[in-house]
Structure 1
Amino acid sequence: MLVSLNWLREFVPYEGDIQVLGDKLTMLGLELDGITDPFEPVKDIVVGFVAEREPHPESDHLSVCTVDVGGPEALTIVCGAPNVAKGQKVPVALVGTTMPDGMKIKKAKLRGVKSMGMICSERELGFSEDHEGIWVLDDALKVGDKLVDALNLERVVFDFDITPNRADCLSILGFARETALAFDLPLTLPKLNLNEGGGNAAEEVRIVIDDPELCPAYHARIIKGVTTRKAPDWMRFKLLALGQRPISNIVDVTNFIMFELGQPLHSFDLDLIEKATIRVAPATDGMKFTTLDNVERALTANDLLIWDGVKPVALAGVMGGLNSEMGKASTNVLLEAAVFRPGTIRKTARRLSLPSEASYRFERGVDQIMTRFAQDRAAQLIAETSGGTVLSGVASAEPRPWRDRTHGYRHKRCMALLGLDLEPAFAKKVFELEGCAVNDADPDNWSVNSPSHRLDLEREVDLYEEVGRVYGLDRIPAVLPKVSKSLEAEAGIPVYHFIRRVKEWGRGVGLNEAINYSFTGSDDLDRLHLPEEGRVFIANPLSEEQNVMRTELAPGLLNTLKNNLAQGNNHIRLFEVAKRFVRDETSETETREQNRLGLLLYGPRHAAEWPWPHGDVDYLDLKGHVEHLLCDALKLEAPVFTVAEEEHPYLEPCVRVAVSGEAIGFMGRVREEMADYYHARKDVWLADFNLDGLREMVAAHRIDFRPLPVFPPSRRDVTVIGPVTLHADAIRETILSAGVDILESVELVAEFVPQGQDAERNLSFRLTYRSPDKTLKDKQVDKEHKKILDALEKNLPIRF
């Protein structure tokens, strides 16, 4: 929103620093983007006086002018405009001046005559499209003055960002209200001096509103005998400062009021309105309508139109129709001021890609009470600038008049929420300066009526925000809230903490975290033979490739694999912690969500070949990661791995994983034909686990505390020679079951297969003995160690 400083000062007498004003309004929630000079391109243009004008000796359309620009000597300037004449005040671009279009004025010789500058037209200076001749200025202007100073043009324009809820600040008046509030200044509205005469608008035209929901109010005034011409300079200059191109007095007045008061208006040629009727009603599907920009647009039943007695004449709140446009020959005006349903205007403007200043305001909401005042002021200005007569009365239909909104306000609660300690008088002053009516008869619960221009004040908490906003949200001290929690409240493991723990494990073992979209494509799920049952489809997908919520993590991980292979990365170690989504009619959201952990391994076992041995990852690598997670990281019981009997959709083989008899996931190798689609030329190993189930298991842990050992250990190594078919775990279990109380741990430390002895191998174990009560003697350790050796020889086919 562009805000002219001089225009703002017509409403509120602010004379302070412009940066202070911008900063203050920013802290009130109206963020300042920048401050510009709209007439910077013409800052070097000066006022000149044509002292002499003679025909060019070598041309029948050029003139040689002697122009006084306030310097010691008059300048000779060759001019081609037909209306240049002696005695005129004109804008002059001196040598060295850069014009708005980028052209630099230089000394020139036109058909043998020197020219020391240029006499400018309005079009050349960017003030209008008028290029029929030079711009003849007012005789009262002083020769030699800068044009921007002589015409008192605006030099300061603020550019503010307006949040969607502050529709009241889409006008100069809205910013004047905020300035008055910020600096405790008086606010002055424009004076209305409307002269009516002859006839009655209510008898000349009939207003019909089909659906009050779409149009709560519609008012029409009639101005007869108008002449369409250029708007007065003061009005054109204000519009130019805000980046608006002046068109004609009738159109410029409606734009002027829109920027000044925030009420969009529209002017129809009354003589083109058939059957003296204005009807507000929706379009019909498929109908065509040509707007003012001469574009035929296809409409739907969701678009709102303004009709006369026969045809549509405007696209309500967005743009007028070509068939009712005010032209140069138009003499009678029907001036519209209305309130439309914001959502309807927004949808139409977006669907037709037809944004406008009017729709921008209508789709955020306009002040219904201000509508009549804005219309009367516009009618007054049209009459004054066109010589027309405003007919008495207004043709109106207001099926839904404005109703005051009353909110309760509890000052103690407001202070508690804001963390402040302000007097109630401060809050009351804020509300009254904003235009609210305050009844504080009950000191604990006020009654506050919000004004019609503050559509964002809908609830009591909105009033709290106003108190904090005006006091200064930046001035509210930062205080950490007091949090009191009992030990019972800390029972269990929060989901976030558990997920963070799993992610730290993944990064710690050298895996890279993958983050994929929660939605995928039906084709991806079909490719992995995942069932259609339970899929949650997206109502408005970004694309057909992302039209369903993922039911498993595999599609995302495999697409990540595909992308990495395409970039030349063949050593891939991935994990992903994410949710899967399955339709569940019994759920409140009709969707059941579950946290899952996905693992994917692919490529060589080691990232670098030397000095590591060759070889690709296999099942044991994946199994090792799973065991490390469950046993070492989460401290769960050793998992049980079972080959699935039933066929898995995308894994072959598929291994089911259970902990304490409860299934918690599955793992295996991706089917070759599926892996081939993702450009994999080696085995792809994938695992998927239920994190919610694992979290419940971890939360059910009982934490045992044991004292640290005090006495030193005693260690013995034993090498067992046995058949290669004998598992090391069987040897370990036999050692532990020998009934030796002082045996603390058993570790496999080495394996040796003698050359040529394929049937046997040597396994070395380290046994640690320790007593919790005393230091062990060698004799005692040897006795217990022999008991273990005897148990091994008795129960297993081994020798030492």
Structure 2
Amino acid sequence: MLLSMQWLRDFVPYEGEVQELGDRLTMLGLELEEISNPFEAIKNIVVGHVVECDRHPEAEKLSVCKVDVGESELLDIVCGAPNVARGQNVPVAKVGVTMPGGMEIKKAKLRGVKSHGMICSERELELSDGHEGIMVLPEGLKPGTKLTKALNMEDTVLELGVTPNRADCLSMLGIAREAALAFDLPLTMPRLNLVESGGNAADMLKIEIDDPELCPLYQARILQGAKIAPSPDWMRYRLLSVGVRPISNIVDVTNYILFELGQPLHSFDADLLKGGKIRVGLASDGMKFTTLDEHERKLTGNDLLIWDAERPVALAGVMGGMNSEIHDGSTNVVLESAVFKPGSIRKTARRLALPSEASYRFERGVDQQLNTFAMDRAAQLMSELSGAKVVSGVAKNEPKPWANRTHNYRHARCNGFLGLDLAPEFSKKAFSLMGLAVDDSDADCWKVSTPSYRLDLEREADLYEEVARYFGMDKIPSVLPRISKTFDASVIADTPYGFYRRIKNWGRGVGLHEAINYSFVGDDDLDLLGLPKEGRVNIANPLSEDQNVMRTELAPGLLNTVRHNIAQGNTHIRIFEIAKKFIKDLESDTETREQSRLGVLVTGPRSDAEWPNEQGDADYLDVKGLVEHLLADLKLGDATFKLVDEHSYLEPCVSISVGEQEIGFMGMVKPVIADKYHARKEVWLADLNADLLRELVMAHKIKFTALPVFPPSRRDVTVIGPVSLHSETIKQAILDLKLPLIESVELVNVFVPEAQDKERNLSFRITYRHGQKTLTDKAVDKEHKKVLEALEKTLPVRF
């Protein structure tokens, strides 16, 4: 938001330093980004008085002028403008001055006559597009005076960063309120002196609103007999100072009010509106409409339009239509002032990539109670600048009037939140200066009514923030907060956020690095992995062709992370990512189904290069161990792993199940695919359904078992069996005996004798424990003998 200091002083009598104002506004939440001079490019242009003006002896269309610029000698300047004449005050660029377009004025000789400067047009000064002749200045100006000073042009503009919630600060009035608050200054509103000329606008124009939720208020005034012409200098220069190009008196007034009061307005040519009716209603799917920028827009059923009796005439809150615009021949005007639902305007402007100053304010919310004042002030200015007569009355429809909002305010609680000890009178003064009404009949809980322009004040905590702003955010002392675990912590743990945070803590705990990738990838990435084209969600306006579709798997993002790390010289890669994948689903409200997934990827050396002990690269056991460790951490028990016959980008691929439910898959990325991502080592990846894992965890019932009191007794046994016999089969055979003293069975070693390819030795450690007493060797030996006998009987093994 650009703030003109001259314009600001129309509202508040601020005479302090500009930097001080910027600093104070920053502390109030309006960050000062830059201080600039909007007319910096013409700061060296001076006022000149044409003393003599004669025809050029060698060129009929040139004039030779003697110009007084406040120096001891008159300047000889050759001018080609047809309207230059003796006695005029004109802008002059002297020799050495650089023009806004970058041209440097030098001494020149035109058709044999020396010229020491240039008499400028408004176009050359970039004040307008007018180039019919030179710019003629008002009489009475002193020669040699800087043009910007002589015409009282703005020389100081502040650029402020306005957060999206502070829609009230998108105007001079809104910022003036903040300045008045900061320096305890009076606020003066513009004087309203609207003269009506008879008739009744309500009889001449009917307003219909199809949906009050989309348009709570629509009203209009009618002006007759307007003469379209350029705006006066004071208005044009003010608009230029805030970056707006002047167009004509009628259009400029709507822009002026937008920046002054924050209310977007629109002017229709009344003679182009049909049927004496305005209707606010939605478009139909596929409808086409041409906006003021001469572009044809394809609309949907969610776009709000302004209609006359027969056709749409404006895209509500965004831009007017070509079929009803003000032009040089317009004489009758319908001035629109309305309030629209912010979300509707925002979606239309974003979808059509059609941002405007009006939509920027409508999509953040405008002041419904100020609406009539803004419209009347605009009608008054239009009447004064164009000579139009304002028809009496207003054509108005307000199906949803503004309802005042009241919030509780507990001063003691506010002090507790802010860590301050403020007196109640301090808060009351702050609210009063902000325009908030206070009912303190209950000393412990006030009732505070918020004005219509403060749409951001929605709850009690917002009032605490207002007190902090008035006190000064920079003055609040820094105190370390007291940390304690609340009941909310247990509640958060049961939410998806809490579960995913638990997964992230697990990932970091086992030495993985968290990867965060974009939700969108390229079609080429998905095609490379052999993923189906069906179900892809295409992006309407992608950042690039490499990011034109929402990811249907986590693998593309993880593999791109691998490529980036390898390019940076990191070959020891251990990463995980918990994120959503997106599948097209026409039955969903958003036509997209989201599912949270957990991806784990390992590749490269098993240990960092600096670690001297363990050698070798990551393999299947590494990724399988991570999956088993996760399931153990989540208390979900053992998983079942089953080889999958075919997978698009993993080979081999193994499905992972818990109980009867498949929770994901894992395997090695096919070498031809891994090579595309510059991976020279095997890349192992696991992809788990995080939503399903959470369901299993939430359904899991925790059982408590008393800690063992008596010591265990352990026996090791080495089983000699065929290579085809899995260790899990032996372990399960022991557990299936269900001997009461067996606590656990663990594989501790595997040995394959030299020159032996048919048998191997598997060493197991069996732990025995009794819950009520200490075991004797005799009792343990008896149980251990049962185990050995059972294994020899059921499996092809020996000891």
- Could you state the TM-score of these two structures normalised by the residue count of structure 2? 0.75
Matched residue, 1:108: 108
- Give, in angstroms, the shift of residue 563 of structure 1: 4.2
Shift of 1:170: 1.1
1:299 aligns with 2:299: yes
Q: Which residue of 2 aligns with 1:411?
A: 411
| Equivalent residue, structure 2, for 1:54 | 54
- Tell me the equivalent position of 2:203: 203
**Per the alignment, do residues 210 and 646 of structure 1 end up closer, same or farther by CA in structure 2, a change over 3 Å counting?**
closer
Structure 1 distance, partners of 2:664, 2:212, is 61
Deviations 1:465-522 (A, max 9, x none): 21122212232223233344699x99x9997997677556654xxx877666789999
- For 1:314 and 1:641, the matched residues in 2 are separated by 62
Partner of 1:465: 465
Amino acid at match of 2:381: L
- 1:140 is displaced (CA, Å) by 1.5
Does the C-alpha gap of structure 1 residues 240 and 524 become closer, same or farther in structure 2, counting only changes over 3 Å?
A: closer
Distance 1:396 1:674, change over 3 A: same
Secondary structure at the aligned position of 1:122 is classed as coil
Return the alpha-carbon distance in structure 1 between the equivalents of residues 527 and 79 of structure 2: 78
Compared with structure 1, are the counterparts of its residues 453 and 753 closer, same or farther at alpha carbon in structure 2 (3 Å cutoff)? Answer: closer
Aligned to 2:384: 384
The root-mean-square deviation of aligned C-alpha atoms, in Å, is: 5.4
SS at match of 1:438: strand
Deviation at 1:157, TM superposition (A): 0.5
Name the counterpart of 2:162. Answer: 162
* 1:240 maps to 2:204: no
Q: Match of 2:23?
A: 23
C-alpha offsets along residues 642-686 of structure 1, whole Å, 9 cap, x if unaligned?
98599797665969999xx99999998649799789788986666
Q: Distance in 1 between matches of 2:558 and 2:268?
A: 62
Alpha-carbon deviation of 1:187?
0.2
Closer/same/farther in 2, CA of residues 79 and 616 from structure 1, 3 Å limit: closer
Per-residue CA distance 1:312-371 (angstroms, 9 max, x = gap): 222222222222222222222222212222222222222222221112112222111111
Distance 1:496 1:250 in 2: 57
Q: Aligned equivalents of 2:757 and 2:220: distance in 1?
A: 105
- Contact map agreement 1:229 1:386 (CA 8 A) in 2: yes
1:253 aligns to 2:256 (yes or no) = no
The 1:390/1:556 distance shift into structure 2, 3 A limit, reads closer
Whole-angstrom CA distance in 1 between matches of 2:626 and 2:372 = 75
**Retained in 2: the 8 A contact 1:228–1:330?**
yes
Shift of 1:294: 2.4
In 2, the alpha carbon distance for the partners of 1:319 and 1:126 equals 25
Offset at residue 407 of structure 1 (A): 1.8
1:395 corresponds to: 395
User: Contact 1:35–1:158 at 8 Å: present in 2 too?
Assistant: yes
1:537 offset after TM fit, Å? 9.3
1:310 aligned partner = 310
Per the alignment, residue 36 of structure 1 pairs with 36
Q: How many Å separate the matches in 2 of 1:655 and 1:347? A: 43
The alignment status of 1:440 with 2:443, answered yes or no, reads: no
Instruction: Give yes or no for the alignment of 1:4 onto 2:8.
Output: no
Q: 1:269 & 1:79 partners in 2: Cα distance? A: 40
Query: Quick one: structure 1 residues 501 and 705, their matched pair in 2 at CA, closer, same or farther if it must change by over 3 Å?
Result: farther
d(CA) in 2 for partners of 1:216, 1:642: 60
The 2-side partners of 1:525 and 1:469 are apart by 50
- Aligned with 1:403: secondary structure? coil
Gaps of 5+ in 1: 584-589, 707-721, 730-747, 762-800
Letter in 2 for 1:254: T
Deviations 1:669-723 (A, max 9, x none): 64979978978898666678999999999998999999xxxxxxxxxxxxxxx99
Alignment of 1:121-520 (within 5 A): 121-484=121-484, 503=507, 506-507=510-511
Counterparts in 2 of 1:668-679, with a 5 A limit? Answer: 670=668
Distance 2:486 2:246 in 1: 70
Residue 64 of structure 1, CA deviation: 0.3
Higher mean C-alpha displacement, 69-78 vs 296-305? 296-305
Question: SS of the residue aligned with 2:128?
Answer: coil
CA distance in 1, matches of 2:643, 2:217: 72
1:392 alignment partner, SS class:
coil
Distance 1:496 1:152, change over 3 A: same
Distance 2:663 2:307 in 1: 66
Report the CA distance between 1:233 and its aligned residue: 0.9
Distance 2:301 2:624 in 1: 62
- Provide Cα deviations, 1:154-196, integer angstroms capped at 9, x if missing partner: 0111111111211111110111111001111000001111222
Question: 1:784 is matched with which residue?
Answer: none
Give 1:373 deviation, angstroms. 1.0
Closer, same or farther: CA 529–420 of 1 in aligned 2, 3 Å: same
> Are 2:207 and 2:278, in contact at CA under 8 Å, matched by a contact in 1?
yes
Is the 2:105–2:118 contact (alpha carbons within 8 Å) kept by the matching residues of 1?
yes
CA distance in 2 between counterparts of 1:231 and 1:682 reads 72
| Partner residue in 2 for 1:67 | 67
Secondary structure of 1:255's aligned partner = helix
Report if aligned partners of 1:78, 1:115 keep a CA contact under 8 Å in 2: yes
Does the CA-based 8 Å contact 1:523-1:545 persist in structure 2?
Answer: no
User: Are the aligned partners of 1:404 and 1:450 in contact in 2 as well (CA < 8 Å)?
Assistant: yes
Structure 1 residues 425, 571: closer, same or farther in 2, change over 3 A? closer
Residues of 1 paired with 2:639 and 2:279: CA distance? 76
1:3/1:242 contact within 8 Å kept: yes
Cα displacement string for residues 95-137 of structure 1 (whole angstroms, at most 9, x for unaligned residues): 0000011110000000000000000111110111111111111
Q: Larger radius of gyration, structure 1 or 2?
A: 1
What is the CA–CA distance in structure 1 between the aligned matches of 2:323 and 2:752, rounded to whole Å? 99
CA contact (8 A) 2:600 2:686 kept: yes
CA distance in 2 between partners of 1:211 and 1:758 (Å):
81
- 2:405 maps to amino acid: R
The question of whether the paired residues in 2 share the 8 Å contact of 1:528 and 1:674 is answered with no
Q: Is the 8 A contact 1:561 1:678 kept in 2?
A: no
SS at match of 2:33: strand
> Are the equivalent residues in 2 in contact too, given 1:641–1:655 (CA < 8 A)?
no
Partner of 2:775: none
What amino acid is aligned across from residue 105 of structure 1 in structure 2?
I
5+ residue gaps, structure 2:
584-591, 711-719, 728-747, 761-799
Q: Which moved more, 1:366-375 or 1:60-69?
A: 366-375
Contact 1:12/1:187, CA 8 A, preserved across alignment? yes
Alpha carbons 1:48, 1:92 under 8 Å: kept:
yes
Give yes or no for contact 1:282–1:304 (8 Å, CA) kept in 2: yes
Q: Which stretch shows the higher mean deviation, 167-176 or 310-319?
A: 310-319
Give secondary structure in 2 for the equivalent of 1:55.
Answer: strand
Deviating more after overlay: 644-653 vs 434-443: 644-653
CA contact (8 A) 2:91 2:120 kept: yes
Q: What TM-score does the superposition give when structure 1 sets the normalisation length? A: 0.74
Change (3 A) 1:268 1:758: closer
Offset from partner CA, 1:532-554 (integer Å, 9 cap, x none): 9xx99989898786454x5xx7x
In the other structure, the counterpart of 1:796 is none
Once the 2 structures are TM-superposed, how far is the Cα of residue 432 of structure 1 from its aligned partner? 1.4
Residue identity opposite 1:117 in structure 2: G
- Is the 1:557–1:600 contact (alpha carbons within 8 Å) kept by the matching residues of 2? no
Q: Provide the aligned length of Structure 1 versus Structure 2.
A: 715
- Aligned partner of 1:396: which letter? K
Alignment CA distance shift 1:606-1:321 (3 Å)? closer
